[in-house]
Structure 1
C-alpha cells in the first residue's frame, strides 16, 4: 500500500530523468526513493501494532484513537535530520481545501495530518459498527459516532468561520504593503550551466528593465534560484557583475538573485572535514547554494545573503557528509549542483525602508518549523526562490508550489514565489493564489504584498503540537514495553 502511494506521488523523480535530457542520476534517485521511502511508513504501523498488542490487548477500538498521535509523531520525526524528506505528509493533501487548514496557524501542517487521521479512525469505527453490529439495540451508539464524526470533520470549518484573526483584515490585506516584482526567465536548467553567460545576463537586464517600466513603485525584484549559474563574486565574472550592479544602481531597486557562492578558508584549521580542495593550490574551500540581495550603492562584499541550509539528498549533498567525507564523491551531478556545503544561519533580509523578509531556497520551503524560524526572527513577508525546471510539467512541480500554502497560513505571511520555469505567484496569508504563471513561460509579474509583524502561535512555538504527539506516542510505547516485560516474566 505504501509503495503504491509513493508510486503515485513521487514517481516524477524518475520520470524527470527520462526524455530529451535523459539523466541516469534522476532515474536511479527516483527508483531509490520508491524502494526506500515506503519502508519508513512501515515504522508507525509497527509501533501501532506493538502498542495495540501489548498495552490495549483485546480492545481494538480504543487503540485506534492513538493512531493519529503515532502518525503525527512519525511525520514530525521524518522532517528532522539530513535524511529527512517531508514530502508526503498527509496534511499536504489539503492544500486546496483552504477552509479546512486555517487552524494550521496553531499546529502547523502536522495538525492537519492529525485531523485527517482522526477523521479516518472514526470512519473506520463507524464502518465496523454497521458491518458487524446489526442489532437495533446499538442504534444510539451508531448515531453518537456519526455525531462525533461530524463534529471532528467540521471543527476546522468552524474555526475558520469564527476566528477573529481571519476577520481582522479586509480583503486579505494588511496595514502595510510593499510592491514586489518577479522575473520568471524560463531558462532550461539542463543547459543553463554551460550556456552563454553574456546572453543570460542581457536577458535578465531586459526583463528587469521591462518590469520596472511597467510598475513604477517596485521596492524589490526577485530572480529565481541559481539564476546566475556561476560564482559572481569571482574576478573572472567581474564584467557580468558590473552589468547587474549598474542596473541595480540605475533603477534604484534592490534585486534578490539566486546564485552559487564560494568561501575560501584562509585558516584551514576552521575548514570542515568535507571541505573541497583546489586541484592546484590545494587550498580548502566550500560552495553554497545562495541568495544575494544586490542593493543600490553597495559593494558585492556588503550584500546581504542567505546560504541554503536544507539541501536535497544526493543531488545537492550526501547525508552527514561532514562525518563521512568520502561520500561526497559518490554523487557528482554534472549540472553545477553537487556537494554544496550547509548554510549556518537563518538570515533575514532588511530593505532600505526597514521592510524585513526571509528567503527560502527551493526545498527549504517544504520544512514547516524551519520556515517558521525565519519568520520568528522578524520577517514581515516571505520569499521563495526555486528552480523546478528539472521536473517540467510533472507532478513534483505542482506539489512543490502548493506546499507554500501551508507556510503562508502557518505564519500568516504573504509569500512571493519566484520560479525559473514556473510556477511563480503571490500567496496571501490565508493561502489564496494570485497571478500564477504557467510552466515553461517567460513572464514578469508584480503585486503589492502585505507586511505583517504579528506572530502566530505556530511561529512562536514551532512544532509544539507535533512534539506533544511524539511524547504521547513515546509514553504509550514505553508502557507497552514495560507491560510486555513483566508479562513475559510471569
Structure 2
C-alpha cells in the first residue's frame, strides 16, 4: 500500500469516528456536520485504482476498524452489565463491526467493478453507498448503527429532506457532495478541469441543501391541539435494577417523580422502558400501586414493564408499554416487535446456548417474544382538571410508543404514524451504554425519526438522554445522563392524516430507487464489458 493510499484510509477512519457524538472532558464532541462530508471522499480516494477484490479487502478492513471504534460501548454492555467474560466483551464489538464491514467490502467491490468501465462517478457511488445503508437495516434482522445520515442530525437543511427521503436521503446527499467536491479538487490539483459529472454532483448537492434551507426556514403551522407530557428519568443503576431489594425503592422514585410532574401540569406521564422492576400480570401489588397512582394523580400513565403471558405451565415474556387512564384502568398494551439479537433473544439458541448467561440477561430469563408489529395506541380521554386540552376530546388520542431498539428502524417507526399516531412516546433503557457516546448517538437516531415522520417525540430514558424533540428533529430540551429528573412540555399533535409526510405515506421509495440505480449501474457495466469482450 502506498503512503498516499494509507493516508486517505486513515483520514476515513478518523473522520468516520469523529462524525458521531462522543463525550470528552465533560462535553459531547459532535463534529458530524463537518466530518460526515469528509469521510466518503477519503474512503473513495483510498480505494481508487484497486481492482474489485483488493478494494473489497481494504473496504472491509477500513470499515471494520472504524466501526469497532464507534461501537466500543458494546464492551460496557456485555462485560460491565451483561457479566460476560472480558474476551466476549472484546470480541463482541469486533463481531458487530465485522457485520457492518461486509457492507464496506461490498462498497469496495462495487466501486472496483464500476471503475473498470469508467462508471465510478459520484452519482453511481452515492447510490451504491445508500443502497448498502438500506440493506444494513434489513439483512440478518439489521444493525443500522452509525449510518452516515445520522451524523447530519445537526444540519437543519439536510434534516428538512428527511420527511421526503428519510435518513437515506441524508446519506445520499452527503456522499454525493463529498465525492463531487473530492473529484473536482483532485482534478484541479492535477491541472485538469473537473469532469461534468463531478460538477453536476456538486450542483445537485448544493441544490438539495438550498431546497432544505428554504423548507427549514418555513414556520411550522400551529397546532390547535396540545398535550402536556412529562418524561421521567429515574436513573436506576443497571447493576441493581432487577434486584429484589431495589424494587420498592424504584417504585418510590417513580411515584415521587410522577407527583412532581403532575404538580407541573402534566396530563400524561411517561416512564422508561422496563421502569417497573417486575410484572404487572403476575404481581398484584405492583399493579395496585400503578392503578392507585393514576387515580390519585388523575392522569394518564405510559409505563414500560415486562409483559407476561402464561403458556401452559410456562410463561411468555414481552418488552411492553402499558397505558393506564386516570381511573387506574389498563386500556392498552404495546409489545415491542423488533427485538435485540443476543439481548432479548438468542438466534440459534440450541447452538449458542453458552452465550445466554453472558449476553442475554436483558429483561427476562428466556427468549423475549416479539409483538405483532407497530401500531398506534390510544391515550385515554382526560383528567378532569377543568382545563381545556386535546385530551378532553371523547376519542382517545392515537400515539406511537416505539421501544428502544425499534427506534433504529425508520420504516418500523413510520408505521406508528401511518397507523394514526399523532406523536411518539419513545421509551428506552440506555443504562447499558454507560458514559460512552452511545446515548448521544441514539438520541441523534431518535431525532431522525421525528424529522422523517414530522411528529414530536417525547423520549423517556432510564439514565438519559431523555428529551423532547420537535417535528423537525430539533432537540428542544434534554436531560444529563445519569441524573434523576424529569422534563415537562406541551406537545403539539399532528393535525391528521392530511399532514402525513411523504416518507410516512410512501416509505423507503428513495432507498429503493438507489438500490435500483446501483444495480442498474452494475448490470450495465457487466453488459458493456461482455459486449467489449465479444
Q: 1:38 aligns with which of 101, 104, 118?
A: 101
1:331 and 2:356 matched:
yes
Distance in structure 2 (CA, Å) of the matches to 1:428 and 1:106: 17
User: Hey, what does 1:471 align to over in structure 2?
Assistant: 516
Contact 1:389 1:420 in 2 (8 A): yes
Distance in structure 2 (CA, Å) of the matches to 1:386 and 1:192: 14
Q: Secondary structure at the match of 1:435?
A: strand
Contact 1:73 1:470 in 2 (8 A): yes
| C-alpha spacing 1:145/1:28, structure 2 compared with 1 (3 Å) | closer
| C-alpha spacing 1:263/1:22, structure 2 compared with 1 (3 Å) | closer
Contact 1:177 1:451 in 2 (8 A): yes
Distance in structure 1 (CA, Å) of the matches to 2:165 and 2:214: 17
1:158 and 2:204 matched:
no
| C-alpha spacing 1:290/1:329, structure 2 compared with 1 (3 Å) | farther
| C-alpha spacing 1:470/1:20, structure 2 compared with 1 (3 Å) | closer
Contact 1:310 1:342 in 2 (8 A): yes
What is the deviation of 1:222? 0.4
| C-alpha spacing 1:20/1:111, structure 2 compared with 1 (3 Å) | closer
1:262 and 2:308 matched:
yes
Distance in structure 1 (CA, Å) of the matches to 2:371 and 2:473: 28
Q: 2:142 aligns with which of 84, 101, 113?
A: 84
1:198 and 2:248 matched:
yes
1:29 and 2:59 matched:
no
What is the deviation of 1:127? 2.5
What is the deviation of 1:174? 2.5
What is the deviation of 1:424? 0.5
| C-alpha spacing 1:379/1:26, structure 2 compared with 1 (3 Å) | farther
What is the deviation of 1:80? 1.1
What is the deviation of 1:297? 3.0
What is the deviation of 1:28? 3.8
User: Hey, what does 1:71 align to over in structure 2?
Assistant: 129
What is the deviation of 1:230? 1.9
Contact 1:102 1:156 in 2 (8 A): no
User: Hey, what does 1:427 align to over in structure 2?
Assistant: 469
User: Structure 1: 5+ residue runs without aligned partners?
Assistant: 267-280
User: Structure 2: 5+ residue runs without aligned partners?
Assistant: 1-61, 382-390
Q: 1:462 aligns with which of 483, 507, 530?
A: 507
User: Hey, what does 1:397 align to over in structure 2?
Assistant: 439
1:293 and 2:293 matched:
no
- Say what the alpha-carbon RMSD is for the aligned residues: 2.5
1:379 and 2:421 matched:
yes
Contact 2:68 2:93 in 1 (8 A): no
Give the TM-score of the pair, scaled to structure 1.
Answer: 0.85
Distance in structure 2 (CA, Å) of the matches to 1:388 and 1:111: 27
Cα deviation digits, residues 432-458 of structure 1 (max 9, x gap): 222210011000210001101210000
Contact 2:344 2:362 in 1 (8 A): no
User: Hey, what does 1:269 align to over in structure 2?
Assistant: none
Which stretch of the first structure deviates more once superposed, 80-89 or 146-155?
A: 146-155
Distance in structure 2 (CA, Å) of the matches to 1:166 and 1:331: 50
What is the deviation of 1:473? 1.9
Contact 1:248 1:254 in 2 (8 A): yes
Contact 2:82 2:361 in 1 (8 A): no
Distance in structure 1 (CA, Å) of the matches to 2:252 and 2:492: 31
Cα deviation digits, residues 115-153 of structure 1 (max 9, x gap): 01111221222123113235xxx4xx57x7886465334
Cα deviation digits, residues 365-387 of structure 1 (max 9, x gap): 11111111111111111111111
Cα deviation digits, residues 334-354 of structure 1 (max 9, x gap): 353552122112121212233
| C-alpha spacing 1:38/1:461, structure 2 compared with 1 (3 Å) | same
Q: Secondary structure at the match of 2:468?
A: strand
What is the deviation of 1:74? 0.8
What is the deviation of 1:18? 5.3
User: Hey, what does 1:272 align to over in structure 2?
Assistant: none
User: Hey, what does 1:169 align to over in structure 2?
Assistant: 220
User: Hey, what does 2:257 align to over in structure 1?
Assistant: 207
Q: Secondary structure at the match of 2:142?
A: coil
What is the deviation of 1:203? 1.9
Aligned length: 450
User: Hey, what does 1:181 align to over in structure 2?
Assistant: 230
Contact 2:184 2:199 in 1 (8 A): no
Distance in structure 2 (CA, Å) of the matches to 1:475 and 1:411: 30
Contact 1:286 1:340 in 2 (8 A): yes
User: Hey, what does 1:440 align to over in structure 2?
Assistant: 482
Contact 1:256 1:293 in 2 (8 A): yes
Cα deviation digits, residues 195-246 of structure 1 (max 9, x gap): 4212221221121112212x23x22100001101322211xx1112101111
1:47 and 2:105 matched:
no
